Structure formats: C-alpha cells, structure tokens
Amino acid sequence: MAERFVLVLAGGLGERFWPWSRPDRPKQLLPLARGGRSLLASTLERALVLAPPERVVVMTARRLTAAVGRECGGSGVRVLGEPVARNTAAAIGAAAVLFEGEARGASFAVLPADHAIDDTAAFGADLGRAYDVAEREAVLITFGIRPRAPETGFGYIRRGAPLAERLSRVARFTEKPDRELAEQWLTSGEYLWNAGIFVWGCATFMAALEASRPALAGPLGNLSWTGSDEGFERQLEQVFPSLESISVDYAVLEHAPNVLVLEASFDWDDLGSWSAWARRQPHDERGNVLFGDAFALDCERCVVVGDGGTAAAMGLRDMVVVHADGATLTCRISDSDQVRRVSEAVRARGTP
C-alpha cells in the first residue's frame, strides 16, 4: 500500500472574524471549534486519524509558524512556513513533491485548517475510501457537501456520471451562484458544495498541474526532498516568490478530466461568518450566544463575545457585538458575511 500523507492548509487570514481574528491570530487559531478548541487543533485530530504525525504537514505563513507550532504542540506533526502566500495550487504542488520525495508512490489528503467537522468517524471512513480509490486509479478526488441552504458564498460542484455509492465524475465546477440559481441547485440534487477537501496521488496531482499550469508545475517540480523540512523551506524561499498565486480549483480542478467527487457522509461547515459560527454554539434561553467575558441584558438572538475585555449589550435583537484585542465590532448578524469590509476599511486607516 502506498504511504498516506496529510497536508493541512493553515495559511488563511480569516478576516471575517475581525476583531477576534487578526493577522497574528487568524481564524484557524481562534477557539471556534466545539468545546472551545481551535479549528486547527480540531483539524489535526482528524488528520491523525488518517496518518501518523510524521506524515502530517501543516503549511502556513512563515510569520505564523510559531503560533501554529504552539497550537500543534506535542502532537508531533510537522509545520512548514511559506515565505510568501501563493494560494493553494502552489502549496499543494510543493507538498506533492515533498511527499513523493519521502515515499515514492505516496498519496495525500488536503485539509483546510479552518473548517468545522464533528463526525470524525465518518470523516475517517470517507477519507479512507478516497485514499483507496486514489491509490487504485489516477484520479483527483474532491469532497462535496450536500447543500443545506441556498448559499451564495460557496463554489459548487455539479455531479456527472455516477460511479459508486456517493461517488461520481464531475460534470463541472462552478463559480458562486446568485440567490436564484443557488435555490435551483439546492432542490435539483445535482449540485454539491465544494468543501476544499481533496485526496490524490502525488504523481497524479503533479501530472494534472503540468497539463493545466506548466508554469507552476515546472518550478515546483524542481524542488527536491533532501531529508529535512528546514532544507525544503529554504528551497521554498527561492521558488515561491516568483510563482503564480492561484487556487487549486482554478489551476487544476476546473481543467482536469479525471476529477471525481465523493459526497461526504460527515457534517461540515466552513464557519465563514459570525452567524455560521453562532449556529453551532450553545444558546441561552433567549437565543443568545455568549462567549468569554460577555454580558447580554434584555437581548435576543445576539452573539456577544468578550476576549481580553468585557463585551456588554443591552436591549438588542439579532446583533453581533465583539470585543477583542483592543477593538470592537457591532453589526447585524445578517450582515456578518460582510465583516471583511470593516476589517479592510479599518486596516486602510492604518489601525491593525
């Protein structure tokens, strides 16, 4: 059996949780997972179901390696810092070369570090099945989530010819739909959310990248595993700055003919906003989610978070109030998918 690796992508900024998330404490390091753990810690737990720690690599921004390393503390997984952010295609390509160098014929799973999944057993079974398929055939396996709502913030995968239970060819990847289209897709049953979780063989992935994005595959193919992560990081310093910054979806999956989609049997949420997070948190009798040093007087259906200070709300309905790290955000819960606008505007003013 081919060796199985896991790549955890932990480079995201997660501005949507500003002011809780900051450049030095992005979403994946916040205690957003069930039980107050970080999403990264929760992702590592799932990764270690798939592979032993020495075959789990967490890739993140170099300036986050210390913080990410602390969060991985004691697990024995490896943390690699990217010298500059170059989106997912470059990171996954580099990992493919690394893993293939360590174990010829290896396959690996790609797991975003900032999603929420609770059913670890179903996750392990589904991923195991994907490794099995990817080791038998030269295919790229993506995970699709059955839509629960007409979400306009996700990419969708249209299923093609069925191959086995929950496993299909991919008819096409699609951009984020408008509301009307999202509602059609929700009822059609033909579409799945693109969860950004993948399984493939190293060689299969590099061949697909070579076919669709040779300018990216070339420099990445020149990387070589020389026995140490530090040595590999030094090679990344040379290669990464000149690479195209593009997602693996755009660079590879939308072009490759050999993409399959496996409909997940596990729960999944990208926790893309305060409202998405709040849905999974315990509520008080008036529907409020209170976290940390938070105080709600005569409030209903509010999210109040106090981290490193007191957040108090009085007489509010359907609002988010966050006090964290010397800043405060207040908005309607229904606007919480636009928090990035605030963090960008505040940053443009020169405040962190």
Binding site residues, its own copies, CB under 8 A = 19, 293, 295, 297, 306, 308-316, 319, 321-323, 326-332, 335, 338-339, 341-342, 345-346, 349, 351
| Closer residue to its own copies in complex, CB, 34/286 | 286
Shortest gap between Cβ of 272 and its own copies (angstroms)?
Answer: 16
Shortest gap between Cβ of 352 and its own copies (angstroms)?
Answer: 8
**Cis (ω within 30 of 0) for the bond into 19?**
yes
DSSP state of 118: -
The residues with which 8 forms a beta bridge, in sequence order, are: 58, 111
Shortest gap between Cβ of 305 and its own copies (angstroms)?
Answer: 10
| Closer residue to its own copies in complex, CB, 206/296 | 296
| Closer residue to its own copies in complex, CB, 226/328 | 328
Shortest gap between Cβ of 118 and its own copies (angstroms)?
Answer: 30
Q: Which of 108, 105, 112 is nearest to 94 (CA)?
A: 108
Shortest gap between Cβ of 323 and its own copies (angstroms)?
Answer: 4
* Residue 81, H or E segment: strand 78-82
The per-residue b/e assignment along 219-239, b for 16 or more CB within 10 angstroms, e otherwise, is: bbeebebeeeeeebbebbeeb
| Closer residue to its own copies in complex, CB, 13/98 | 13
Shortest gap between Cβ of 334 and its own copies (angstroms)?
Answer: 9
Distance in Å from the first CA to the final CA of the chain: 49
| Closer residue to its own copies in complex, CB, 3/307 | 307
Shortest gap between Cβ of 286 and its own copies (angstroms)?
Answer: 15
Burial class (CB in 10 A: 0-12, 13-18, 19+), 210: middle
Specify whether the backbone of 318 is left (phi greater than 0), alpha (psi in -120 to 50) or beta.
Answer: left
| Closer residue to its own copies in complex, CB, 189/326 | 326
| Closer residue to its own copies in complex, CB, 116/322 | 322
Q: Which of 277, 275, 284, 280 is nearest to 333 (CA)?
A: 275
| Closer residue to its own copies in complex, CB, 115/323 | 323
| Closer residue to its own copies in complex, CB, 170/324 | 324
Shortest gap between Cβ of 20 and its own copies (angstroms)?
Answer: 12
DSSP state of 333: G
Shortest gap between Cβ of 279 and its own copies (angstroms)?
Answer: 20
The per-residue b/e assignment along 24-60, b for 16 or more CB within 10 angstroms, e otherwise, is: ebbbbbbebbeeebbbbbbbbebbbebbebebbbbbb
3-state secondary structure 182-229: HHHHHHHCCEEEEEEEEEEEHHHHHHHHHHHCHHHHHHHHCCCCCCCH
